[in-house]
Amino acid sequence: MRVQRPKGTSDILPGESGKWERVEHQARKFFALAGYQEIRTPTFENYEIFSRSSGQTSDVVEKEMYDFNDKGGRHIALRPEGTAGVVRAYVEDKLYGPQIVKPFNVFYIEPTFRYERPQAGRLREFHQIGVESFGSDNPLADVETIVLGHDLLAALGVKNYELHINSLGNQQVRQAYHDALVDYFTPLKGQLSEDSQRRLGLNPLRILDSKAEEDQQFLPNAPKIVDYLDDESKANFKAITDQLDHLGIKYVLDNDLVRGLDYYTGVIFEFMVADQDLWASPTTILGGGRYDHLVEEFTGPHTPAVGFGIGEERLLLVLQKQNPDLFAPAGIDVFITNIGEGTTLKTVELARSLRGQGFSCMYDVDQKKLKGQFRKADRLQAKYVLTVGAKDLAKGQLTIKRLADGQQIQFDLEQAADLQAVLEQFK
């Protein structure tokens, strides 16, 4: 048997898992403060949920879906993004009902899957932290979502990121813009990159995203979406950017920002980090936007919505560099060593008592020699070592030592019921 995890997956080991817990704990706290509640949807859905929402010509559907047929012949896909499943649940579970306060705000933290070549900050199984807000078409809902993303990154300690935003307007706008792009690029077709020639027929919007050298020269003069926005879309976008201005949130208007999923309709945005040590080119750690028709597409009532997703692996890469303090190893409060006849069970009793008092506490189940126990305490970065010695115990006493400076004090056994009071003697 080959003992090897599937390509593009990773084991999050103890030590590493603590970092994840801190990030997720902070995120949960943050969402709770904003009144967002958690939603958990299945890891897999019927294939159509994703193919219809993301768009048949999107890369996600065309080549990155992790799909298979189950034993019942159902075409299943592991979720490649978070929004579709939440929208499905919103419709199926009738969360649009009048008894539910609008907007309906949720967050999720979940594994996500894309069948791709792994590289820095890109795995086949990765994790997304996301939010969705259903039911409001007010620009303030867009602003609230962007502010949430901005403030969450700030709370976690991400320092250098750039917020790119753009607007895609409604379906008529998109159609008109689509046609304009085809008109512009078709005469140039022969000079475009192979990929872009293909995109021209399928999804010309994608050409704007191209980084191919052949294409670059044509991009500056390509039609801009802003010129095709109708008055309402324009007013909407302006309202959003004005409010961001007032709130002091910096952003870059990025006409070429497209996003990989077809369901976006209004404002779209990405928080990008440019760090040569991490990635050769600027990389998106958070992306999102407005999708006003997806609920309808899933046979629900017309429901405007907006949300974003954060790539947790990428977030961690950035945080480890920009806010390493967040991940300072914790160590345990107390390690109990014991020596001599009749001290073992006393040790267990003390450990249970200390844990009950809220101290993290361990002892040596291997019952090695005292020196070995101290070595263990040191390796576990214990703050204090409490020693249960047979001789001391006979006098009703215990010894506690602070490892940082070697200071050691003795105290009566009964005082162990309130260790905090004992520890205060060190100060």
Partner RNA sequence: GCGGAAUUGGUGAAGGGGUUAACACACCGGUUUGUGGAUCCGGCAUACGUGGGUUCGAUUCCCACAUUCCGCCCCA
- Contacts to RNA by CB under 7 A: 4, 6-9, 59-60, 63, 81, 114, 116-123, 126, 128, 195, 206, 209-212, 258-261, 270, 279-287, 309-311, 313-314, 339-340, 368-372, 374-375, 377-379, 385, 387, 389-392, 399, 401, 403-406, 408
Shortest reach from residue 169's CB to RNA, in Å: 17
Q: Report the length, in residues, of the chain.
A: 427
Which residue's CB is nearer to RNA, number 287 or number 300?
287
Which residue's CB is nearer to RNA, number 328 or number 404?
404
b vs e for 42-79, b when ≥16 Cβ sit within 10 Å of the residue's Cβ?
eebbebebbbbbbbeebbbbeebbbbeeeeeeeebbbb
Question: How many Å apart are CA 171 and CA 187, to the nearest integer?
Answer: 25
Shortest reach from residue 319's CB to RNA, in Å: 13
Question: How many Å apart are CA 217 and CA 385, to the nearest integer?
Answer: 68
Which residue's CB is nearer to RNA, number 176 or number 370?
370
Which residue's CB is nearer to RNA, number 251 or number 279?
279
Shortest reach from residue 248's CB to RNA, in Å: 23
Which residue's CB is nearer to RNA, number 100 or number 253?
253
Which residue's CB is nearer to RNA, number 231 or number 366?
366
Shortest reach from residue 107's CB to RNA, in Å: 15
Q: How far is CA 21 from CA 29, 43, 109, 326, in A?
A: 12, 20, 11, 11
Which residue's CB is nearer to RNA, number 301 or number 342?
342
Question: How many Å apart are CA 108 and CA 113, to the nearest integer?
Answer: 15
Shortest reach from residue 292's CB to RNA, in Å: 17
Matching residue, tokens 């022969």: 190
Shortest reach from residue 174's CB to RNA, in Å: 15
Query: Structure tokens of 236?
Result: 């909407």
Residue type, 164: H
Shortest reach from residue 313's CB to RNA, in Å: 6
Nearest residue to 247 (alpha-carbon basis) of 384, 361, 148 = 148
Which residue's CB is nearer to RNA, number 239 or number 370?
370
Query: Structure tokens of 183?
Result: 């008109």
Which residue's CB is nearer to RNA, number 97 or number 351?
351
Question: How many Å apart are CA 139 and CA 271, to the nearest integer?
Answer: 19
Shortest reach from residue 347's CB to RNA, in Å: 13
Answer whether 331's CB lies under 8 Å from 305's CB: no
Question: How many Å apart are CA 204 and CA 181, to the nearest integer?
Answer: 6
Shortest reach from residue 26's CB to RNA, in Å: 17
